[in-house]
Amino acid sequence: MAAAAEGLESREAAAASKDAPRPAVESVDAGPGAPPFLAGNRLNLDLYPEGCHQLLHLCAQHHQQLLQVEFLRLSTHEDPQLLEATLAQVPGNLPHLRSLVLKGGQHRGALGACLQGTLTTLPTGLSALAHLVHLDLSFNKLETLPACVPQLRSLDTLLLSHNRLSVLPETLGALHVLTFLTVTHNCLQKLPPALGALSALQQLDLSENLLDTLPPEIGGLSNLTELNLASNRLQSLPVSLVGLRSLQLLVLHSNFLTSVPAGLAHLPLLTRLDLRDNQLRHLPPELLDAPFVRLQGNPLGEASPDSLSPPGTPQVLEMPKLYLTSDLDSFPVTPQGCSVTLACGVRLRFPAGATTTPITIHYRLWLPEPALVSLGPHDSLLSGVLELWPHGVAFQQDVSLWLLFVPPRARRCHEVVVRTRRDNSWSDLETHLEEEAPKRLWARCQVPHFSWFLVVLRPVSNACLVPPEGTLLCSSGHPGVKVTFPPGATEEPRHVSMQVVHMAGRELRALLGEPEAAVSPLLCLSQSGPPSFLQPVTVQLPLPPGVTGFSLDHSRLHLLYWAPPAATWDDITAQVVLELTHLYARFQVTHFSWYWLWYTTKTCVGGLARKAWERLRLHQVNLIALQRRRDPEQVLLQCLPRNKVDATLRRLLERYRGPEPSDTVEMFEGEKFFAAFERGIDVDADRPDCVEGRVCFVFYSHLKNVKEVYITTALDREAQAVRGQVSFYRGSVPVEVPQEAEAARQRKGADALWMATLPIKLPRLQGLKGHGKGARLSLAPLNLGDAETGFLTQSNLLSVAGRLGPDWPAVALHLGMPYRELQRIRHEFRAPGWAARGCGALAAGPGAERPAGCG
């Protein structure tokens, strides 16, 4: 995304930060009983929890100081109904209000981006604020401008950035004294002609929208000094812009402009005209030579692509763009380069000259499993595994790779990276995140070779190259964590890295049953080269929360050390010299591993540290087993994070029914488990993820751990219903599993394999007596053609597909189709109605006619 203009953005930032012109003197002093957030004539509630409740409480008390308030700030990260009720009280209780800031953005998402507030409209009663001159509604979910805003006739400044506005109303022209308007980062597609009636407007920012045209009336903004239209879709400009005689700054970069009015060069006060990154091939001489014009990123002097080249002139070919369907697993790359979008959504860009000879690239998207996924103890997987080959092929220029991934849940001090394998070792690539939609995120990286690629969430990693002269390594997530390398610590430069993991105090106290227990952040240090340093390295860790170096009991402070793959943590407090300051503890080591400071009355801390470290990595989940209402033989098995169970069940229970979810169990990232059907129930198909009727799973906390299977029974369902069960066990599928889960349940302990058992019921078959085995369905005969017209032609295949409907997977499996082939068909014919048609075509055989329009 192109950078915004310095001049205009700096002014907007100033306007947003100060909100409105400050009075020379605060008019009212906070009385002895005034709340701390009510200072003078300013009421700042945006950074206080439950700000709406605070304001409603003040209004209910009829606090006299409210009558003097002129500046109100309120966060919109509140319940929408509560927010609307609170704002309805503002006109009657704050009649002299001059500045109203109703911004979101105080909360941040998993990737650090500001989140929008819940505000979607404003009460009509706010139009009674006759003295309001400043209104900030940024970072909200406004799709239309509230009707009360154009009625605020005293409004001088209006900020609407980072909303969802697609249009502005004609009534906006009624704000005759408005001087500052910003509507950046919205979805505006056109502007109202009434915008030209804002004769007092001086600064207008419409950048980062979807504008493709401007109304001629914009030339009526006679007092406009700054206009920002960057990052839109403008292809041309109205000639009326040359009438903006007060204009000093005009920003038009990152559009699709092919021409600009020559008269812009004659605006008397214009000091900067930004035309970067457009499609300008020709400019009037007066603009081309003007010192205030910026033109970088334009194809000036180049012939247009559709113009005819003179004879003998070599054609400059555009980079080919390839869009692959699911039936293709390879594509060619030539020295010209190309841009490729795979069927799974992955994108690649091969720059010109990346390869000197044509090469064929193959790809495959693998389901994640431990053999293909390398995760650290505190990592989480966010994507499938992409394989590109030939492996190890070297490119003359780096290839760009975009991988889709699941947005991570908010976690402090973590980062998203692309991980790749080369020469039997895994490494993380420098990764940049791009957001195409609120829940469609890309991890972009430059790849020097082809191998396996996946996206992971890891604790923030800080690294450096340690020279013989020594250096200092600090944690970006925890500023108090530092490692000092003295001169002579190494003879040759070596790479070192640091990761820091935080543990919540309440989890530790619950584990130990000790109210005053506390721990420092967990520090992991690793390095390349020899295992030890030549000189001791100084490590600094912050003391556990609530503990200071001048008041702590030294007998309760423990320094713990863990060296993988050891099973226990060692207490090395007696083996090192701990130097304590008011906030930090320092000690010296000669080799790297894991370090942790504990403050507790417990004596045998090593075993407790192992349990606490496991608790850091465990995820609390529930297991569900649901049967489709109209087809009880179809069973959905899923492992869900505990906080997603209720929402998922509400969505599924329209089509499925079944028992309540299991009790909460705890699982590690990447842990294997399996589901075994018991008491006469078995899986009714040969699946690659099924071993002797037991369905295999691998738990990844951010991915969907769900599978649908068809079940059957050898028992007589005509006599009575079959009441079976499905049990979930940890680990890989063993040779033998207890036939009944009750025995495993009785032995359940900390290391028990059994996790849960849920009932499964196959109802009694009705109306089949005397019809023989397998006569459960009564359907009209299918039209399969005849000898004269041909069997299973395209026309009757389409008819068959329409009859099958959503039951086509079961029919395909019973026809003997391999499960892997079925999965391929699911993806290839994923448009509505085409999946069954593809099944019919494949069931007819390789030579059958393919349905028209497929693929």
Measured CA to CA, the distance from residue 500 to residue 523 in angstroms comes to: 5
Q: What whole-number distance in Å separates Cα of residue 681 and Cα of residue 691?
A: 15
Strands across the sheet with 99-103, in order?
38-39, 42-44, 71-75, 99-103, 134-136, 157-159, 180-182, 203-205, 226-228, 249-251, 272-274, 293-294
Nearest to 198 by CA among 173, 165, 233: 173
DSSP H helical ranges for 472-620: 505-512, 605-617
Sequence-ordered list of residues with C-beta below 8 angstroms from that of 499, at least 6 positions apart, any chain? 376, 378, 458, 459, 460, 461, 462, 523, 524
Q: How far is CA 297 from CA 138, 234, 585, 806, 849, in A?
A: 31, 16, 53, 52, 51
**DSSP assignment of 402-450:** EEEEPPPPP-TTEEEEEEEEETTEEEEEP-EEEEEETTEEEEEEEESS-
- Most distant CA pair in the chain: distance in Å? 100
Residues 6 or more apart in contact with residue 40 via CB below 8 angstroms: 26, 27, 28, 29, 30
Residue 771 annotated in active site: no
H/E stretch holding 715 reads none
Q: Residue 122 in contact with residue 87, Cβ under 8 Å?
A: yes
What are the strands, taking DSSP E only, across 60-188? 71-75, 99-103, 134-136, 157-159, 180-182
> Other C-beta atoms within 10 Å of 191: how many?
21
Strand-pairing partners, residue 53, are: none
Q: What whole-number distance in Å separates Cα of residue 422 and Cα of residue 392?
A: 7
Catalytic member of 591, 771, 795, 814: 591
| 449 flagged as catalytic | yes
Q: How far apart are CA 178 and CA 159, in angstroms?
A: 11
SS (H, E, C) 779-818: CCCCCCEECCCEECCHHHHHHHHHHHHHHHHHHHHHCCCC
The burial of 720, by beta-carbon neighbours within 10 Å (0-12 exposed, 13-18 middle, 19 or more buried), is given as exposed
- The residue length of the chain stands at 855
Catalytic residue among 449, 502, 526, 799: 449
Q: Active site includes 57?
A: no
Work out whether the CA dihedral 824, 829, 830, 834 comes out positive or negative: negative
Establish whether 304 is a catalytic residue: no
E-state strands within 514-655? 518-519, 522-527, 532-542, 557-562, 570-571, 579-580, 584-591, 594-599, 618-628, 631-641
Instruction: Give the C-alpha separation, 227 to 271, whole Å.
Output: 12
Q: Which residues contact 311 (CB under 8 A, 6 or more apart)?
A: none
Active-site residue among 138, 451, 662, 727?
451
How far does the chain reach from its first CA to its final CA, in angstroms? Answer: 34
Six-digit token string for 229: 């239209």
Question: How does DSSP classify residue 604?
Answer: -
* DSSP β-bridge partners for residue 432: 444
What tokens appear for 788 in the block?
């004269």
199, 326, 400, 593: which is the annotated catalytic residue? 593
* Cβ count within 10 A of residue 247: 23
Q: Which residue has the tokens 């935080």?
A: 502
Please state whether the peptide bond connecting residue 565 to the residue before it is cis, i.e. omega within 30 degrees of 0: yes
Q: What interhelical angle do 505-512 and 605-617 show, nearest 10?
A: 130
Closest CA to 266 of 235, 291, 292, 242: 242
Instruction: List residues with catalytic annotation.
Output: 449, 451, 591, 593
